[in-house]
Structure 1
Amino acid sequence: MVKESKIREVEELAEMIKSSKVVGIVNMYKMPSPQLQDIKKELKGKARIRMSKKRLMRRALEKSGLKGIEGLSEYLKGQPAFIFTEMNPFKLFQYLDSNKTPAPAKEGDVATKDIIVPKGSTGLPPGAIIGQLQQFGAKTTVEDGKVAVVDDTVVAREGDVISADLANLLNALGMKPMEIGLDLIAVYEDGTVFPKSVLRIDEEEFFEKMVMASAYAFNLSLNSGFLTEETAPLMILKAFNEAKSVGLEAGVLEKGVIEDLIARASAEANSLNIMIQKRGD
Structure 2
Amino acid sequence: MASEVRHHSIHIPQWKKDEIEDIKRLIGAYSSIGVVGVHGIPSSQLQLMRKNLRGMANVKMSRNNLIFHALDQSPDQVKQISKYVEDQTALLFTNENPFKLYKILEKGRTAAPIKPGGIAPKDIVVQKGPTSFPPGPIVGELQGSGIPAGIEGGKVVIRETKTVARKGDVVDAKLASILSRLEIHPVDLGLDLRAVYENGTIYESKMLLIDETQYIGNITRAVQKAFNLSINTAYPAKATISTLLAKAASESRNLAINAEIIMPDIMDVLLAKANAQMLTIAKIASQKDTNAIGEKLKEKLAASPKEEKKPEAAAAPKEVKEEKKKEEPKESDIASGLGSLFG
1:219 aligns with 2:241: no
* Cα deviation code 1:10-39 (max 9, x no counterpart): 343233223311111223334444444444
Distance 1:210 1:95 in 2: 19
- Residue 241 of structure 1 corresponds to 250
Structure 1 segment 44-193 matched on structure 2, within 5 A: 44-67=54-77, 69-109=78-118, 114-118=121-125, 120-121=127-128, 123=130, 146-149=158-161, 155-156=166-167, 164=173, 167=176, 170-171=179-180, 174-193=183-202
- Residue 27 of structure 2 corresponds to 17
The CA deviation at 1:199 is 3.4
Gaps of 5+ in 2: 1-9, 132-137, 283-292, 303-343
Distance 1:66 1:33, change over 3 A: same
Distance 1:192 1:52 in 2: 24
* Cα deviation code 1:244-273 (max 9, x no counterpart): 3233333445xxx6412x112221344326
Equivalent pairs, count: 262
Letter in 2 for 1:20: Y
Distance 2:26 2:198 in 1: 14
Kept after mapping to 2: 8 A contact 1:47/1:86: yes
TM-score (norm 2): 0.60
More displaced 10-residue stretch of structure 1: 18-27 or 118-127:
118-127
RMSD between aligned alpha carbons? 3.9
Distance 1:96 1:219, change over 3 A: closer
Larger radius of gyration: 2
2:160 aligned counterpart, secondary structure:
strand
Q: Higher relative CO (CA 8 A, sep ≥ 6), structure 1 or 2?
A: 1
Kept after mapping to 2: 8 A contact 1:126/1:146: no
Kept after mapping to 2: 8 A contact 1:27/1:183: yes
Letter in 1 for 2:56: K
2:238 aligned counterpart, secondary structure:
coil
Gaps of 5+ in 1: 135-139
Distance 1:220 1:81 in 2: 45
Distance 1:91 1:153 in 2: 37
The CA deviation at 1:192 is 3.0
Distance 1:197 1:50 in 2: 23
Kept after mapping to 2: 8 A contact 1:104/1:175: yes
Distance 1:155 1:172 in 2: 19
1:78 aligned counterpart, secondary structure:
coil
Distance 1:215 1:179, change over 3 A: closer
Q: Percent same amino acid at aligned positions?
A: 27
Distance 1:131 1:190 in 2: 56
Distance 1:244 1:270, change over 3 A: closer
Distance 1:34 1:164, change over 3 A: closer
The CA deviation at 1:105 is 0.2
Distance 1:12 1:119, change over 3 A: closer
